[in-house]
């Protein structure tokens, strides 16, 4: 009798435990779908342009008909639609956020989005097309900008070049302590500003306390410019030769140039084979790498590369013929970092450029060179 009663009590307890266990599992199943909302989305364009309509596709899971969505496009606007579209009216780097909510369950997803300007500029010829259409004429490049009445590598040196009808400016790029790209030829700011120290030891904000000198030693109100300011100023107005040689990361400079829609207007100069190879390996045909050929070994290194223009400052007729046989355009210096002027040597250095078939001449005397070339119908 006692044994039977004991068995009944054991069975009853087991039944209660099973029921309780099933009830807990059922509760987890009932609430699991509503409490496991996971926000996710995709963007129709990996590299959207300003003014381009972008589709945002909601890929969230654990959502129902009554789920709500809150989009933040990072530019001060948003949406509550499930799958919104949006157009950015300015370039920039934006953080897009989606908050998906179902009942008490909520989740957030975010992505970085770089919005760029188009590299096709209305009414502006690409640099490659400009070079291909020279028909024997020569472009003039102002070394470190047009710094006759402005500091070198300054915004004014670019503005003065534009106003003087100079086709191209050569500018030097370096990186600050906080990763900003600025114009500066030297490693330090000692020679060109009223400050001292390495560019890489300053943040951009700290650099703004200093002013730039003109060549004659006069202190100006000009500040060390950001590369982004330079690209914004130059877009659609002037070509640029960016000298990054042992100064700045190509990838970082390239990304900014591309974002500001200036890729088809720019040369990237470096004397380092590894950097030129990096430019080629990006696989973007709009990039114009400019190596320097100083000897046969340099030529051999670049022989198989898809090069449009190179810097060539040596007097070597055999090497010159090889360069021309490749169809490479010659970029050559005349009156750079020297006290010799076009007038003092009767334009001898310019005549060398003309004789070897140079297509871009870089100089500290751009206006004088333009006038001389135009007198010979060699510059528009």
Domain spans in the chain, listed from the N-terminal domain onward: 41-115, 127-375
Q: What is the pLDDT, as a whole number, of residue 18? A: 35
Contact 212, 224 (CB under 8 A): yes
Exposure on the CB side of residue 124, measured as CA atoms within 13 A: 20
Within a 10 A sphere around the Cβ of 364, how many other Cβ atoms?
Answer: 22
Closest CA to 202 of 226, 218, 170, 231: 226
Within a 10 A sphere around the Cβ of 45, how many other Cβ atoms?
Answer: 12
Residue 196, both tokens: 């001292």
Contact 115, 49 (CB under 8 A): yes
Q: How far apart are CA 347 and CA 366, in angstroms?
A: 12
Q: What is the pLDDT, as a whole number, of residue 35? A: 60
For the chain, the helix, strand and coil percentages under 3-state DSSP, each to the nearest 5: 30, 25, 45
Closest CA to 240 of 146, 163, 169: 169
DSSP 243-298: E-TTTS-HHHHHHHHHHTT-GGGEEEE-S-HHHHHHHHHT--TT--EE-B--SHHH
Closest CA to 131 of 288, 299, 262: 288
Q: How far apart are CA 223 and CA 211, in angstroms?
A: 5
Domain pair 41-115 / 127-375, same fold: no
Catalytic residue among 86, 143, 146, 147: 143
Catalytic residue among 86, 146, 147, 185: 185
Beta pairing partners, 72? 78, 97
Q: Which DSSP letter does residue 376 get?
A: T
Q: How far apart are CA 88 and CA 91, in angstroms?
A: 7
In the chain, where does DSSP find H-type helix?
2-32, 127-132, 155-163, 204-207, 227-234, 250-259, 273-281, 296-302, 317-325, 348-355, 366-375
Give pLDDT tens digits for 176-225. 999 999 999 999 999 999 999 999 999 999 999 999 999 999 999 999 99
CATH superfamily of 41-115: Immunoglobulins (2.60.40.10)
Based on the residue annotation, tell me whether 281 is a catalytic residue of this protein.
no
> Is residue 130 classed as helix, strand or coil in its secondary structure?
helix
Give pLDDT tens digits for 228-248. 999 999 999 999 999 999 999
Q: pTM for the complete prediction? A: 0.89
Based on the residue annotation, tell me whether 143 is a catalytic residue of this protein.
yes
Q: Which segments of the chain have a pLDDT < 50? A: 1-34
Q: Which residues contact 13 (CB under 8 A, 6 or more apart)?
A: none
Q: What is the pLDDT, as a whole number, of residue 14? A: 38
Cα of 128 vs its chain's centroid, Å? 18
Topology, domain 127-375 = TIM Barrel (3.20.20)
Cα of 306 vs its chain's centroid, Å? 21
Residue 306, both tokens: 């898809």
Q: Which residues contact 265 (CB under 8 A, 6 or more apart)?
A: 121, 124, 126, 127, 234, 235, 238, 239, 240
């Amino acid at each position: 009798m006692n044994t039977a009663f004991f068995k009944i009590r054991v069975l009853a307890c087991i039944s209660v435990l099973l029921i309780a266990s099933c009830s807990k599992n059922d509760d987890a199943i009932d609430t699991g779908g509503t409490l496991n909302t996971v926000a996710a989305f995709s963007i129709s364009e990996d590299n959207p342009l300003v003014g381009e309509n972008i589709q945002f596709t909601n890929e969230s899971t654990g959502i129902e008909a009554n789920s709500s969505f809150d989009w933040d496009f990072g530019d001060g606007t948003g949406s509550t639609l499930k799958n919104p579209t949006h157009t950015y009216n300015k370039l920039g780097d934006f953080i897009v956020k989606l908050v998906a909510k179902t009942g008490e369950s909520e989740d957030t997803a975010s992505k970085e989005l770089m919005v760029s300007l188009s590299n096709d500029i209305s009414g502006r010829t690409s640099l490659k097309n400009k070079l291909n259409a020279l028909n024997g004429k020569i472009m003039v490049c102002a070394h470190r900008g047009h710094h006759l009445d402005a500091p070198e590598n300054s915004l004014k040196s670019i503005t003065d070049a534009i106003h003087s009808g100079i086709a191209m400016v050569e500018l030097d790029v370096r990186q600050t302590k906080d990763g900003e790209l600025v114009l500066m030829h030297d490693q330090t700011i000692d020679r060109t500003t009223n400050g001292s120290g390495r560019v890489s030891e300053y943040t951009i904000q700290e650099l703004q306390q200093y002013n730039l000198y003109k060549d004659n030693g006069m202190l100006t109100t000009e500040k060390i410019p950001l590369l982004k300011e330079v690209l914004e100023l130059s877009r659609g107005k002037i070509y640029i030769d960016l000298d990054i040689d042992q100064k700045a990361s190509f990838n970082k400079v390239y990304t900014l140039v591309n974002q500001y829609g200036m890729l088809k207007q720019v040369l990237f100069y470096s004397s380092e084979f590894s950097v030129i190879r990096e430019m080629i390996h990006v696989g973007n045909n709009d990039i114009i790498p400019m190596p320097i050929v100083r000897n046969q070994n340099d030529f051999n290194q670049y022989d198989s590369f898809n090069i449009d223009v190179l810097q060539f400052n040596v007097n070597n007729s055999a090497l010159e013929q090889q360069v021309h046989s490749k169809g490479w355009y010659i970029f050559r210096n005349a009156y750079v970092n020297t006290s010799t002027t076009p007038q003092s040597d009767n334009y001898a250095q310019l005549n060398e450029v003309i004789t070897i078939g140079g297509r871009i001449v870089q100089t500290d005397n751009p206006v004088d060179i333009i006038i001389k070339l135009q007198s010979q119908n060699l510059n528009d």
